[in-house]
Amino acid sequence: MKKIAYPLLAISACSMMSFASAEDAFNLHGSTMTGDWNGSRTELAEKGIKFDGTIAMDSSYLADGGYDAHQAPPFAPQFGLGTTLDMGKLAGWNDVTIRALVTARQGESTSLRGIQAPDAPQWANSQANWGRGNSGSRLSELYIEKNFKDQGLSLRLGRMGLGTEFNTMACDFQGNAFCAAQMGKWQGKLWYNTPVSQWGARLKYHINPELFAQVGVFEYNPDNALERQGWNLDTKHADGVNILSEVVWSPKQGVNNLPGSYRIGTLYNTADEAKNQYDVGYKAGTKAEDRTYGGWIAFEQQLTSTGEGKRGLHSFGNFTIHDRTTTAVNDSQQLGLKYYGLFDAQPNDILGLAVNRVHLNDRYTNYVNGARLGTNLRQLNEDAEYNVELNYSYYPAKWFMLRPLVQYVVHPGATNQVDNAFVVGLGSKIIF
């Protein structure tokens, strides 16, 4: 697979560097910062070669509360460079697509540096780009997809992140409690979101234009999440698989005759090594288990419409439940509102407000608190952590976004022995 990946990425990088100085660059009315590369971008797309590139930056400052306020604001950037090949145009393989994506993520976390106490990690993270921490450069996607249009089927094989296929959601917030697949936050030792990838297969069946069902089987390998393993494609330390299923209904005329999307799905994991799958009511790794499960219900629904397209009020939610034997989080609830195009002159801007509750498993907290009796370590004496974010995504151009925001964290780490945290931040994104 490396023999395939490296040429694809080389084509992407060289082409972007060759044409980035074209006269259409920095057009405020264009969809990308580098423009059409003097017509070459369109010409290549017509031949079946598309390129995409992004750089995103999450910064936040702990203004008050938490464990250690008023430190310098950390920055967490992520760079992505991708290629999508239409193999029908390139090689006559009808309805076949090949996708490659490389990412690089570095920086520091406000949650780690200031919000959380060392003995009470925050369950969410103030910066979604931090995620699992520094990951260096890594191969985040390399897959081939075949569509069987007459049968309503699509098959995808290769390297993928679980959250790009299942429990997907928009990422219009900086806090990772409101960004990307929530199962990857609370089932995190088993479920890896992008930029981490794993070998897998996903089969999707379109029942009708508004309804589809899909199943997926993905390797579980803890090596995939390690910073130094971003380009390692072997399965040496694989331990079982993740089996996922989901049904998605996307009515074009839902509430108020406006479009929406509704998801229900399940996770089943078969790992059985004690270091990977164990009973959280006991010391980590001492009582092995051979399975875990979880499930989710999620929705996004436009509520009002002003003018054309997405302009108006939108709602969203994501609710998860987890195996109490093997998962520290018992359940989570997320609700939010977004208003697209609050001002006529800025139809792409988004005003967002969201609230999240992460409810801990009492079997887990009882064990932790019992182990800490008679020590100076903090008790997990609250049943949940709460995260709130208010932001405004400002788009001076379609390819450039600035997002000022405020966050408030109640009971960071699910303990009242750490002050509630008030955070101000600024996110940004550029599409190349």
For residues 360 and 411, give the distance between their C-alpha atoms in angstroms, rounded to a whole number: 12
Q: Is 227 within 8 Å of 135 (Cβ atoms)?
A: yes
Ranges 11-20, 260-269, 287-296: which has the least confidence: 11-20
The C-alpha angle 178, 78, 226, rounded to 5 degrees, equals 90
Mean pLDDT of the chain: 92
- Model confidence band, residue 20 (pLDDT cutoffs 50, 70, 90): very low
CB-based burial of residue 374 (10 Å sphere; 0-12 exposed, 13-18 middle, 19+ buried)? Answer: exposed
Q: What's residue 134's pLDDT?
A: 72
Angle at Cα 185 formed by Cα 179 and Cα 187, nearest 5°? 145
Q: What is the pLDDT of residue 11?
A: 41
Strands 96-105 and 350-360: unpaired
Give 243's contacts (C-beta < 8 A, 6+ positions apart).
215, 216, 217, 267, 268, 269, 270
Is the pLDDT reported for residue 408 higher than 80? yes
pTM of the predicted structure, to 2 decimals: 0.91
What angle (nearest 5°) sits at the alpha carbon of residue 284, between those of residues 281 and 287? 65
Identify the H or E element spanning 309.
none
Look up residue 255 and give its DSSP letter.
Answer: G
Closest listed residue to residue 124, CA positions, set 385, 299, 383: 385
Residue 15 clears pLDDT 80, i.e. is over it: no
Closest CA to 106 of 74, 140, 135: 135
> For residue 364, what are its two tokens?
């887990």
364 three-class SS = helix
Contact (Cβ atoms closer than 8 angstroms) between residue 426 and residue 59: yes
Q: How many CA atoms lie within 13 A of 339 on its CB side?
A: 11
Beta bridge partners of 56: 78, 429
Of 11-15, 22-26, 298-302, least confident by mean pLDDT is 11-15
| High-pLDDT (> 90) share of the chain, % | 83
What pLDDT, in 10s, does the model give residues 261-270?
999 999 999 9
Q: What is the mean pLDDT of residues 270-290?
A: 95
Q: Which two tokens stand for residue 309?
A: 């397209």
**Which own/partner pairs from 36-44 qualify as long-range (CB within 8 Å, at least 24 positions apart)?**
40/15, 44/15
pLDDT digits (tens, 9 = 90+) for 24-41: 789 888 889 999 998 999
Domain architecture of the chain: domains with CATH: 2-431 (2.40.160.180)
pLDDT per residue as tens digits for the range 107-118 = 899 999 999 999
Longest C-alpha distance within the chain, in Å? 70
Stated length of the chain: 432
Q: What is the DSSP letter of 164?
A: G
In sequence order, the β-bridge partners of residue 2 are: none
Percent of the chain that is helix, strand, coil (3-state, to 5):
15, 45, 40
- Asked if residue 21 has pLDDT above 50, the reply is no
C-beta of residue 135 within 8 angstroms of C-beta of residue 103 = yes
Tokens linked to 224: 């995939």
